[in-house]
Amino acid sequence: MNGHGTTARRPRAGRRRTTVLGLISAALALVMAVPGAAAAEDTPEIGSAWMGSTVLEHEGGDGEYRGRPDTAPLATVEGVDVSSHQGNVNWSSLWSSGVRWAYVKATEGTTYENPYFAQQYNGSYDTGMIRGAYHFALPGNSSGAAQANFFADNGGGWSRDGKTLPGVLDIEYNPYGATCYGLGQSAMVNWIRDFLDTYHDRTGRYAVIYSTTDWWRTCTGNYAGFANNHPLWIARYASSPGTLPNGWGFYTFWQYTSTGPIVGDHNLFNGAQDRLVALANG
């Protein structure tokens, strides 16, 4: 081959090397991008959380239903909590199984409303149950007052009819990010107070607080100041409710399993039926 032939082939070899390197770089970039994309897809959408949706992941426990736990004789009034994940609920079957009260997710943050709320809230009432509504809190997204008003405007109201329980502030591990929603302990206590005070101003009722002892210790510093007025709903999937958050000498509700007969998480009211009616009447 002459010099011109040799020289003519070198650029083509260089282009091939450049092309191969480009393909390798592109492939590496694609591989590196995939985990990030998967992580983004794994982040749930706002509104998809429900009461206790973070408990098993953070605290473990036995989420399988194994029958009603062996507790104090009066803590026998069975209840359920439901959200959009249950869709249209068969309330008559739950009533026949012994369920006598229900809490229904109404809102989350200041943007989400449960599309099944009417069927669930009114259906439980029509079956004969005492029922109430709950709000899934997102303290990092907006003020406590804004979320309390949104809740009160969209299902979280109260009426003295003997069958409507006070609203619930569901405040637990953040399913969308940092455990304490980016707030320090004092800021979290102030946020909760803002929600509770606003809800009380709107409805005349002290909201129930749903949480776990571990989350409450971590994110509020085990603050005791709400215990005098606000009933406690403790979440713990075990044979007993365990140690309660600071200030509360007893629980009012206990979510003891993340599953249960028919549908929904199952719970116990810590008292007899007449005391549940008394709580509904304020």
Residue 24 above 70 pLDDT? no
- Place 60 in a pLDDT band, splitting at 50, 70 and 90: confident
Catalytic residue among 81, 108, 214, 265: 81
Higher pLDDT, 119 or 11: 119
Distance (Å, rounded) from C-alpha 255 to C-alpha 246? 18
- H or E, element range at 132: strand 130-136
Residue 81 falls in the annotated catalytic set = yes
- Of the listed 108, 170, 214, 265, which one is catalytic? 170
Q: Let me know the angle formed at the C-alpha of 239 by 52 and 102, rounded to the nearest 5 degrees.
A: 45
**Residue 113 designated active-site:** no
Catalytic residue among 78, 108, 172, 265: 172
Q: Please indicate whether residue 57 is annotated as part of the active site.
A: no
- Given the structure tokens 């809800």, which residue do they identify? 199
Q: What is the pLDDT of residue 158?
A: 97
* H/E segment holding residue 128: none
CATH node for 55-281? 3.20.20.80
pLDDT tens per residue, range 78-104: 999 999 999 999 999 999 999 999 999
C-alpha angle 279-180-191 in degrees, rounded to nearest 5 = 55
